[in-house]
Amino acid sequence: MNLRRLAAVLRKELLHIVRDWRSLGMALAVPVVLLLLFGYALTLDVDRIPTRIYDQDGTAESRELVERFRGSRFFAVSGLRQGYAEAVHALDAGRALLVVVIPRGYSRRVAEGSAAKVQLLLDGSDSNTASIAAGYAEAVVMAHSMELRERWLERRGAGKLEPPADLRARVLFNNALLSRNFIVPGLIAVILMIIASLLTSLTVAREWENGTMEQLLATPLRPAELLLGKLAAYFLLGAADTAIALVLGVGVFGVPMRGSLLLLALMSGLFLFGALCWGIFLSTVARSQLLAYQASLITSFLPAFLLSGFVFALENMPFAVQQISRIVPARYFVAILHGIFLKGVGLEILWTPALFLLIYAAAVFALARRKLRQKVA
């Protein structure tokens, strides 16, 4: 291994990256755009649910229930509806996700101590959101029902109604239950996969298409030196993107960083190295930039986005898909990121995914080096 030749390849790739201002701009802008888009636009939190309330009873007790919905941050009550058909039409038109119907006789049934019925109409087009909205609405109605039952018993001298169970929940790691605290750290894995695989998948194929590979073959450059020189240039670019994502995630979105920055840097470097090697391997096999780009998109970016647990819970996927996700390196890196950012744990907990990333990086590097040696031989 000649360090002068390796440094020459590194300098050549850095010059190419700097001169190709569109690729450089895309590489540096992608983390910013994705973080802003996912941090502000994409949220898994179900709150401010568009709600219409049709109060047929119009009494103090029914208005009290309406105010319960108004006072909850989970519901955005736009006003009372004066007709059942109008309330249902709001669901049909997509202006409401939930309609609460309080029937006539609600207050009378409450005063008698009998069951007072309340109807919930939901738009089930998005089944997940509808299920969560129904749970929130049922909790509001049940809390109000318990309060009304206590008043009814107190008026009759039966004493205060005690619930059979005293539930006290304690949320660890993400106390505010904000989805962006879960999404933003995992987004670093997607960003690195985009930069690493998609950009490096073009580097060797570009040499073949431009006819410069023959010039490189005429030099005393060895395959390992060519591989490491190209990797080093994009590794620096990936490190810059990681730093940008870290600053935006912690500084702008307020994601807690409870773990070690050194461990985060080491794990990010390990994952980045493996992703870069995979991109080089695809570029060596394809010899065409278009084919290499498409192969990289299918084998790296899409699995990282869909099968890493970044947005979609792996536990809810079919068993066969869960097994396929076990060979996706981004899955293990996302687990490491969540552990470092949210839980503040170290290698004593994260050694299993870290070991997989190490094996993956070593195997892909050996594969890329072997394939490159065959191509330049």
Task: Give the single-character DSSP code of 163.
Answer: P
CA separation, residue 10 to residues 18, 227, 228 (Å): 12, 10, 8
Q: How do beta strands 98-102 and 119-122 pair?
A: antiparallel
Domain residue ranges of the chain, discontinuous segments joined by +: 3-42+178-376, 49-155
Kindly report, residue by residue over 206-240, the tens digit of the pLDDT: 666 666 665 666 666 676 777 787 788 888 888 88
What does pLDDT average to over the chain?
A: 81
Give pLDDT, residue 339: 92
Kindly report, residue by residue over 298-333, the tens digit of the pLDDT: 888 888 888 888 877 888 888 888 899 899 999 999
Give pLDDT, residue 237: 85
Q: 3-class SS at 314?
A: helix
Buried b (16+ CB within 10 A) or exposed e, 306-317: bbbbbbeebeeb
CATH number of 49-155: 3.40.1710.10
Q: Can you count the helices (H) and strands (E) in the chain?
A: 17, 4
What average pLDDT does the segment 76-87 reach?
A: 73
In order, the DSSP letters of 180-220 are HHHHHHHHHHHHHHIIIIIHHTTHHHHHHHHT-HHHHHTSS
Give pLDDT, residue 91: 83
Rg (CA), the chain: 29
Range in 53-62, 182-191, 204-213, 345-354 the model is least confident about: 204-213
Q: Are 197 and 282 in contact (CB under 8 A)?
A: yes
Give pLDDT, residue 209: 65
